[in-house]
Amino acid sequence: MTDDRSLERAARSWLEEGPTRAPDRTVEHALTRIQTTSQERDLRIPWRYQHMNNSLRLALGAAAVVVAVVVGVTLLPGLTGPDTGASPSPISNPTATPEPSPIVLFREGPLAAGTYITSAIFPVAVEVTVPDGWGALQLASTVTVLEAEEAYLGFWIVQDARRDPCGLGGVGDAPVGPTAADLAAALADAPGFDAPDPVQVTVGGLDAQYVELVGPLAACTESEPEPELWLTADGSCRCMESHVERNRLWIIDLDGTRLVVDVLDGGVTGTSEAALAELQDIIESLQISS
Amino acid sequence: VDRDLVERARKGDREAFAVLVHQVSDGLYAVAWRILRDSGLAEDALQNALVLAWRRLPKLRDPERFEAWIHRILVHACYDESQRARSWRAVTVLPIEMPGAPDFSSSIADRDELERAFRHLTIEQRAVFVLHHYLGLPLVEVAELLGIPAGTARSRLHYATAGLRTALTAVAEPLTREGRLA
């Protein structure tokens, strides 16, 4: 018998001693808390439609509806206006009106080329001009998404970042500070990503902190492989796919509300020059106000 | 654990989750108590872990991994409780090789010393030690459950074992080891 073996035997025997039944009151307290606790939903970016069939598109649409129900937001009035049919045409047709840049509300589904503004349920007014080939999704009251075949652009109202994107959040993960700079610093420091320090830039006519993240460099765990970058006030998480991508983030402070303009363009895995130029035009078209 | 219950709970079914809670709570509490060695802290850790598991359940990709996943949450809740309590001392790294150390039988003195020495381990070392020796998980599974590299799990177990061995040796050889863990 070796020393280690006798030690392990003694330790195992010692570990066997102790309670094996959870106190009923503890379990009941937990269940009571759960009655008033909402579940978190991670919003997987519905990007790269060329890899998705139509049924998956429908499933993503359904998932977005589920998210909306979970966060307790009534989306339809803000999204559809008086015309609730399946037609993808916007409320105003940019080619049929005399104004050069008519503004219409975001709607679920494909968008005609034109200038759009976020719906009334979104806390920040973001005006953006898109070419043909883009679609919109209102994933939650705090998340509006534009996407095309090779790119994604999201507008997020962020409450907090995950200091450890592979951590569990809420356990040993202290909240980041309240400013755009705090959020930018936390994202740039996130383990598992490559990121230079944030820089001050201008976007949409406003000062912004710019962070460029490349990652994730590895999956987290088998059960929860995708790292989480941030959380909105209604419990929506920005969840990263497990393959390496380039994420460009502009973080803007609007009287205490932090808007993140989140651009995913596959800069690492390859995006066409045309798509990148199109994205750049869209970013330069942004006009933002609280 | 019933996969169907996990699926239902993932979709927001609180009754299904309550059934799961009753199935796993005893085992989770036993692990939390052994890591924390304190009933109050273990109860808080269990309660917080169950609530966090409910919140995060939609993120669980594979319902088959529910038990490992909720154990990971529990261990992190134990870390949190340990930090909150601020009553533990991190152990200094102790010598590994102790030639001529005595056979560790299960004397009461040894058990008292095990208890004392265990409390001097870091919370991370304790977690690995309990998952490996109490739950009987192989180290690679411990590493996966905790989301750490296998080498880190091995290292934590190594230092935990060394710490306990040193403590017991100190009891067996009071003249030569006296004061080592003071």
pLDDT tens digits, residue range A73-106? 333 333 333 333 333 333 344 444 445 555 666 6
Looking at the complex, does the CB of residue A69 fall below 8 Å from at least one CB of chain B?
no
- CB contact (8 A) between residue B48 and residue A171: yes
- CB contact (8 A) between residue A172 and residue B79: yes
In a 13 Å sphere around the CA of A211, the CA atoms on its Cβ side amount to: 27
- Those of residues 8-37 in A touching chain B at CB distance below 8 A are 8-23, 26-27, 29-31, 33-35, 37
Looking at the complex, does the CB of residue A174 fall below 8 Å from at least one CB of chain B?
no
Task: Tell me how many helices (H) and strands (E) chain A has.
Answer: 6, 15
What average pLDDT does this structure show over B127-133? 95
CB atoms within 10 A of CB A225: 18
- CB contact (8 A) between residue A22 and residue B130: no
**Would you state the pLDDT for residue B170?**
67
Task: Write the DSSP assignment of A60-71 as a string of letters.
Answer: HHHHHHHHHHHT
Indicate if the pLDDT at residue B169 is higher than 90: no
Q: Is the pTM of this model over 0.80?
A: no
**Would you state the pLDDT for residue B109?**
64
Mean pLDDT estimate for chain B? 81
In a 13 Å sphere around the CA of A277, the CA atoms on its Cβ side amount to: 3
What average pLDDT does this structure show over A247-272? 84
- Those of residues 74-93 in A touching chain B at CB distance below 8 A are none
- Those of residues 133-152 in B touching chain A at CB distance below 8 A are 133-134, 144, 147
Q: Which of helix, strand or coil describes residue B11?
A: coil
CA distance B122 to B90: 5
**Would you state the pLDDT for residue B173?**
58
- CB contact (8 A) between residue B25 and residue A22: yes
Higher local confidence (pLDDT), A288 or B85: A288
Buried/exposed B88-117: b ≥16 CB within 10 Å, e otherwise: beebeebeeebeebeebeeeeebbebbeeb
- CB contact (8 A) between residue B47 and residue A10: no
**Would you state the pLDDT for residue A185?**
93
Identify all chain A residues contacting B54, using CB atoms and an 8 Å cutoff: 34, 37, 39
How far is residue B174 from each of residues A5, B108, B164, measured CA to CA in Å?
22, 16, 15
pLDDT tens digits, residue range A156-211? 999 888 877 877 665 456 778 889 999 999 999 988 888 899 999 999 889 999 99
pLDDT tens digits, residue range B92-120? 333 333 334 444 555 666 677 888 889 88
- CB contact (8 A) between residue A39 and residue B161: no
- CB contact (8 A) between residue B47 and residue A29: yes
Identify all chain B residues contacting A225, using CB atoms and an 8 Å cutoff: 61
Higher local confidence (pLDDT), B29 or A140: B29
Looking at the complex, does the CB of residue B34 fall below 8 Å from at least one CB of chain A?
yes
Which secondary-structure segment (H or E) carries B14?
Answer: helix B14-36
Higher local confidence (pLDDT), A133 or A76: A133
| A39: confidence class by pLDDT, cuts 50, 70, 90 | confident
ipTM of the complex: 0.80
Q: Which residue of A has its CA nearest to B72?
A: A168
pLDDT tens digits, residue range B40-89? 999 999 999 999 999 889 888 788 889 999 999 999 899 888 887 764 44
**Would you state the pLDDT for residue A92?**
40
Looking at the complex, does the CB of residue A123 fall below 8 Å from at least one CB of chain B?
no
φ, ψ for residue A170 (rounded to 5)?
75, -10
Nearest to A1 among B68, B103, B168 (CB): B103
| A107: confidence class by pLDDT, cuts 50, 70, 90 | low
**Would you state the pLDDT for residue B13?**
95
What average pLDDT does this structure show over B27-48? 95
- CB contact (8 A) between residue A22 and residue B26: yes
- Those of residues 88-127 in B touching chain A at CB distance below 8 A are 98, 101, 103-106, 110-111, 114-115
Q: Give the pair of three-digit tokens for residue B167.
A: 């403590």
